[in-house]
Amino acid sequence: MKFENPDVDQLSQEWAEDSNATERLIQRVEDIPRIEDFSTKTIEWDVDGIIARGAFHAVTGESGSGKSTLTAALGYAVSRGCPFMGFKTIKRPVLMLDGENPLVAVVDRHTRLRIETGDHFRVWGQWTGEDPPSVGGAVVMEWVACSEPKPLVIVDSLSAFHPGDENSSTETGRYLAQYRQLTALGASVILLHNTGKSETSKEYRGASTIKDKVDIAYKVTDLGDGSRLSLLELRAFKQRFSVTSRLIIRYEDGRFMADQCETFKTVTEQLADLLRANPGVTVNEFEKLAVERKLGRTRARDFLAQNEIVRSTSEPKIASVITCEVWMIRHTFLVRREPIFGEPPANQTANQKWPANQRRTRDLTDSKNITYWFAGTRRTTANQSCFASLSHPCRGDNGGPAN
């Protein structure tokens, strides 16, 4: 296939006559300025290590996870130049465009966080009598262009302002382009968005271009019991430059505090530590301890269930191996059945997995002498109505007796 040379003169004329251009700063390629000539030569932060100046951020999470409350508190701290969770902030105007929440919810949030709106912290919601504009609206763009220092703009949320299909890469990419225009004017932007329920939308819902377009993306996870805001995880899943990758955040009495001592411990690890530190604890006691530690009752239940620590009232489960240690806690109900294994074949050691055809179960009739298997190790309890706590080295074999 033969390609004809373009009419360079014609292209040049079209460029010069572009109706959208008034007076071009760059007439020729040679006019492109050096990067080193721009004032920003290093990364500057609105919130040290978390919110970068002039960058496009996304904060995602499940509905009700606390992302709106967290970003409102962050924005208010920036508007006053006060430290946020111990992180230094730079004072600048803040505008929140809220298309998600009713006035009563916003008032309640501001009361809890002790927020007072004013010249440096403004919230534009539907209750004003006029719907808040998109970030690309003329009124917002004009305000950003005239503001010094450049502001922080928080948008709650993508789904409330997106005019098209968030699952369409083309429509979403076109919509998100206005956020980049805002950052080009010097503003910092935080866009709130929900996560989905499918495996491919655990970090954010919608088209993949959402992650492509942002500079930094965080996911907020509620680690509490869901009844009230208490413990959050803030984890970065997209970063064009280095940020604080993970924080455990506690919320008490209208204040957010970063728990530095547990920054590098997962909730599962904390629950495992809690279980290990309380041998013989019952399920209900363990849940109460988890709530006291602000790890959450629901999280504690999920931890026990996912690791097969809770005994079933009808069928026992062999406990899982968790990071080279296993735990079993007492349950208020007796196991009604137990796995029984025959003698191991002569050519197998006790540590090897037993053939499935040699396994069977039988009902327990004597509740005073309960025999059970735990991580391949047989234990018998006498005159007990619940299981005793124990730990056992990791053997990697849950199929039969270990020793």
- 292 shares its domain with 257: no
Q: Which two tokens stand for residue 285?
A: 């006691």
Establish if 154 belongs to a structural domain: yes
The CATH number given to whatever domain includes residue 91 is 3.40.50.300
| % of the chain residues with pLDDT over 90 | 50
Tens-place pLDDT, residues 106-123: 999 999 999 999 999 999
The reply to whether 158 and 293 lie within a common domain is no
Domain boundary (246, 264, 282) is at 264
Residues 305 and 329 occupy one common structural domain: yes
Q: 399: left (phi > 0), else alpha (psi -120 to 50), else beta?
A: alpha
Residue 366 domain boundaries: 268-342+350-393
- 279 shares a domain with 162: no
Is residue 31, in this structure, part of any structural domain at all?
Answer: no
Q: What percent of the chain has pLDDT over 70?
A: 68
**Digit-coded pLDDT (tens) for 229-272:** 999 999 999 999 889 989 999 999 999 999 754 445 667 778 88
Domains: count for the chain: 2
Q: What pLDDT, on the 0 to 100 scale, is given for residue 108?
A: 97
Neighbouring C-alpha atoms within 13 Å toward the C-beta of 162: 25
Same domain for 213 and 237, yes or no, is yes
For the entire predicted model, the pTM comes to: 0.62
Residue 379's DSSP bridge partners are 372
Please tell me the least confidently modeled range out of 44-48, 74-78, 102-106, 292-296.
Answer: 292-296
Are 233 and 122 members of one domain?
A: yes
Residue 66 lies in a domain: yes
For residues 173-190, give the mean pLDDT. 96
Look at the chain and count its residues.
Answer: 403
Of 214, 245, 264, which residue sits at a domain end? 264
Examine residue 8 and state whether it is found in any structural domain, yes or no. Answer: no
Please indicate, yes or no, whether residues 256 and 307 belong to a single structural domain of this protein.
Answer: no
Asked whether 337 and 364 are in contact (CB, 8 A), the reply is yes
- Check whether residue 255 and residue 153 sit in a common domain: yes
Examine residue 2 and state whether it is found in any structural domain, yes or no. no
More confident residue, 280 or 345: 280
223 and 95 belong to one structural domain: yes
Same domain, 287 and 307: yes
For residue 154, give the 3-state DSSP assignment.
Answer: strand
- On whether residue 102 sits in a domain, the answer given is yes
**Mean pLDDT, all residues of the chain:** 76
Flag whether 19 is in a domain.
Answer: no
Residues 363, 215: one domain? no
Tell me whether residue 22 is in a domain.
Answer: no
pLDDT of residue 333: 30
Mean of the pLDDT values across residues 28-33? Answer: 89
Diameter of the chain measured on Cα atoms: 98
Residues 60 and 73 in one domain: yes
Q: What distance in Å separates the CA atoms of residue 379 and residue 383, rounded to the nearest whole number?
A: 13
pLDDT in tens, 306-335: 765 644 333 333 333 232 233 333 333 323
Cα torsion through 287, 236, 203, 220, rounded to 10: 40
The average pLDDT across 149-160 equals 97
pLDDT at 358 over 70: no
pLDDT band at 59 (very low <50, low <70, confident <90, very high): very high
Phi/psi of residue 369, nearest 5 degrees: -135, 85
Distance CA 271, CA 290 (A): 7
- Which residues, other chains included, contact 317 with Cβ-Cβ below 8 Å and sequence gap of 6+? 308, 311
Q: Which residue has the higher pLDDT, 113 or 298?
A: 113
- From 264, 283, 300, the end of a domain falls on 264
